[in-house]
């Protein structure tokens, strides 16, 4: 039996003191992180589409109201009629914009809450990847 050289002992000692990353685990973590990030991005993307659709529908409705204003003004026969039409138009507009702002705030708040829950779940998956979720 041969004695290991001193250079072999130094190499073996340093290999025990400097940890080498588990590449399989690193790959698994990267895959998990990419997968969870893709889910998160899809969730946020869908929420932003819903908010955009809501806003577009609202603006479309308001534009129809604007067009109707001109038709109604055309039918006015007195100054009082004109004042009444404008007053009603602006009251309706302010009410509708206020309601839409509240609706968008609720949607945004829901999106932020969902994103926070998803981020927490993603963090849990990344920190404890082999934990059974059913438990």
What does residue 128 show for φ and ψ, rounded to 5 degrees? -125, 70
Query: What is the reported pLDDT for 16?
Result: 60
Query: What is the reported pLDDT for 38?
Result: 87
Query: What is the reported pLDDT for 32?
Result: 78
**115: nearest Cα among 39, 53, 54:** 39
Query: What is the reported pLDDT for 8?
Result: 52
Q: What residue segments make up the domains of the chain, in order of their start?
A: 42-120
* Distance of alpha carbon 89 from alpha carbon 64, whole angstroms: 12
pLDDT along the chain (135 residues), means of 10: 53 61 75 82 92 97 96 95 96 97 95 87 73 51
Query: What is the reported pLDDT for 83?
Result: 96
What does residue 2 show for φ and ψ, rounded to 5 degrees? -100, 150
Query: What is the reported pLDDT for 110?
Result: 92
Query: What is the reported pLDDT for 125?
Result: 74
- CB of 88 closer than 8 Å to CB of 28: no
What does residue 132 show for φ and ψ, rounded to 5 degrees? -75, 120
- Predicted TM-score (pTM) of the model is 0.66
What are the CA-CA distances from residue 71 to residues 15, 64, 67, 84, 96 (Å)? 85, 11, 7, 14, 20
- Which residues lie below 8 Å from residue 76, measured CB to CB, with a gap of 6+? 82, 85
**114: nearest Cα among 51, 62, 52:** 51
Query: What is the reported pLDDT for 1?
Result: 52
């Amino acid at each position: 039996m041969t004695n290991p050289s001193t250079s072999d002992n130094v190499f073996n000692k340093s290999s025990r003191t400097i940890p080498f990353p588990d590449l399989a685990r690193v790959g698994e973590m990267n895959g998990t992180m990419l997968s969870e990030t893709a889910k998160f991005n899809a969730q946020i993307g869908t929420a932003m589409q819903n908010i955009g659709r809501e806003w577009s529908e609202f603006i479309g409705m308001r534009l129809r109201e604007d067009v109707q204003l001109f038709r109604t003004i055309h039918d006015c026969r007195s100054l009082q009629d004109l004042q009444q039409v404008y007053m009603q138009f602006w009251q309706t507009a302010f009410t509708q914009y206020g309601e839409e702002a509240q609706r968008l705030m609720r949607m945004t708040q829901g999106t932020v809450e969902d994103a926070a829950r998803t981020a927490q779940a993603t963090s849990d998956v990344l920190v404890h990847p082999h934990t059974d979720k059913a438990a």
